[in-house]
Homo-oligomer: A and B are copies of this chain.
């Protein structure tokens, strides 16, 4: 017998799009009503999108968000909707809040108690923390409310359980990184089991600048066992009947707001359909696809333009772009110079053909020659040094930007995290563009993703020659990446220790068994490239610590690891 029907609606809202977000929430409410659900949950701050950043400092924005919430309440006939919004008190303080809209009225509000202010989060910049528990009584089931971080902290669940909650609802906007879902679920399972409460977790999905939210909403019973799971990286509404035996026994209850349903009701069961977890590479690949798709869609772009070099980075980026936007919306440009080999150009065309994207070719030689001639009084005759190499990269950047300016296409850059970390890239050259698809993907993972994409299909877009070729920027004769960088497997291990884990020089050595000289060089390259990264374009975060607002290092910084 079913007592309480729950709908977890993981929506893809857009920051600032109050009208659009309201329509998405409306649709979720209507779908919940159509399913005869009692409670429908949408993600954290669904009204405003997440994170709204300094929009929260605009009084007009806060007011518009309150107006938007007010328009939702009348729609909740016969259902209770838990809707994330920004609440404001009489002193003008604002709260990351959940409105309880029940049977036509806004009957209660919960204020998030624990505000994350680390990593990519700045919630203490804006919000006042809440101080009170909020319990609902829905047809005899006692429901406790939490928002995102509240569930990662130990206190709220413990206090809600002590106050009589049988089911804790969590509305989240939890940014993705690889394998976070596993950690999160283990964590929540422990939380459920320890407090003997069921947990219903509703997460945001979608891309927002550098962040991707992965969905994967989840319901666990009071034994910590999974009872329902939503898809990752897709909008999804998960409807499920809460069974009394999941909840453990009823407990003494503190003050709870009575919400719809006022009494138990009978209705046909819904079949439980649980989504499958994605595999390790598939998960990252889908995060990148969604990040690109949403950056384009939410910023009003439809077509990407990008350089195709025949290297693995641009090949993978092209795959992601084609999968995100459709092959008809990706324009590849092959831009050979005197240093480009026939093989790489052929591979570039092959990848383009395989993906079904349009490929144009355009030699940078005439412009390169004009630069060398113009700059001769300063540079002499050298066409191979770093200065000349950067000129080539910048010509390519400028060509792509000219096409962008002319046709309204958005330029995708193709640099990976290993390059971005060490500064092995040219500012205003290969770094020029609107979105840096794989900027947080280490080179070793680039290879794994390429293999995954070839394996999964459609087609086998990345030729074996691309995968097997020794990495080269082709900006000087017989150049390889390893002239400048350590082998990528060594480099990526050092970068993980240094950038993601903040390890000291000594720890890096003992963790990775690498030569001290290599580690020292890498650290120095990372430190020195901060000014470059600061001018890089945004791109999808997929590791626990991306560059950008996740890692806020000063440019002017004389600290040297020892």
Contact = CB atoms under 8 A, between A and B. Distances in A.
Contact of A15 (B395, B504, B559): B559
A560 B18 CA distance: 9
A538 interface: yes
Interface in A353-379: 360, 362-364, 366-367, 369-371, 373-375, 377-379
Contacts of A60: 504-505, 561
A99 to B, nearest CB: 20
A13 B76 CA distance: 59
A221 interface: no
A536 B534 CA distance: 8
Contacts of A52: 554
Contacts of A399: 371, 374-375
Contact of A553 (B55, B406, B561): B55
Contacts of A125: 117-118, 122, 552
Interface in A316-373: 360, 362-364, 366-367, 369-371, 373
Contact of A555 (B369, B538, B551, B560): B538
A520 to B, nearest CB: 14
Instruction: Give this chain's copy count.
Output: 2
A558 B47 CA distance: 12
A537 B560 CA distance: 24
A235 B525 CA distance: 32
Given A15-B559, A54-B552, A117-B124, A371 B367 contact: yes
Contacts of A64: 559
A373 B367 CA distance: 9
B398 A428 contact: yes
B556 A298 contact: yes
Interface stretch (A138-146, A245-253, A262-270, A385-393): A385-393
B53 A554 contact: yes
Contacts of A390: 401-402, 405
Interface string A40-81: 000000000001111101111100100000000000000000
A559 B402 contact: no
Contacts of A103: none
Q: Considering residues A366, A377, A555, which has the most beta carbons from chain B within 10 angstroms of its beta carbon?
A: A555
Contacts of A364: 374
A371 B363 CA distance: 11
Q: Give the size category of A's interface with B.
A: 35 or more
A146 to B, nearest CB: 21
A80 to B, nearest CB: 28
Contacts of A311: none
Given A17-B558, A397-B428, A559-B17, A502 B57 contact: yes
A512 interface: no
A403 interface: yes
A523 to B, nearest CB: 11
Contacts of A18: 559
A276 interface: no
Interface in A270-290: none
A27 B498 CA distance: 34
B394 A398 contact: yes
Contacts of A553: 53-55
A222 B29 CA distance: 63
Contacts of A559: 15-18, 55, 61, 64
B554 A16 contact: yes
A367 B374 contact: yes
A289 B51 CA distance: 36
A91 interface: no
A395 to B, nearest CB: 8
Given A370-B367, A534-B538, A556-B298, A428 B402 contact: no
B556 A295 contact: yes
Interface in A140-174: none
Given A375-B402, A390-B401, A552-B53, A59 B299 contact: no
Contacts of A299: 531, 555-556
A208 interface: yes
A369 B371 contact: no
Contacts of A557: 15-16, 55
12 contacts: A14-B558, A18-B559, A117-B124, A118-B125, A364-B374, A366-B373, A369-B370, A371-B399, A374-B399, A387-B402, A394-B398, A531-B537
Given A53-B553, A299-B556, 19 more contacts: A16-B559, A53-B552, A53-B554, A55-B553, A55-B559, A57-B502, A58-B504, A117-B122, A117-B124, A124-B124, A208-B554, A209-B554, A209-B556, A366-B373, A379-B406, A387-B405, A390-B405, A397-B428, A401-B428
Interface of A: 14-18, 20, 51-55, 57-61, 64, 117-118, 122, 124-125, 207-209, 294-295, 298-299, 360, 362-364, 366-367, 369-371, 373-375, 377-379, 385-387, 390-391, 394-395, 397-399, 401-403, 405-407, 427-428, 432, 434, 502, 504-505, 531, 534-538, 549, 551-561
Listed from nearest, the 7 A-B pairs whose CB atoms lie closest are A16-B559, A17-B558, A60-B504, A370-B370, A428-B428, A387-B405, A16-B557
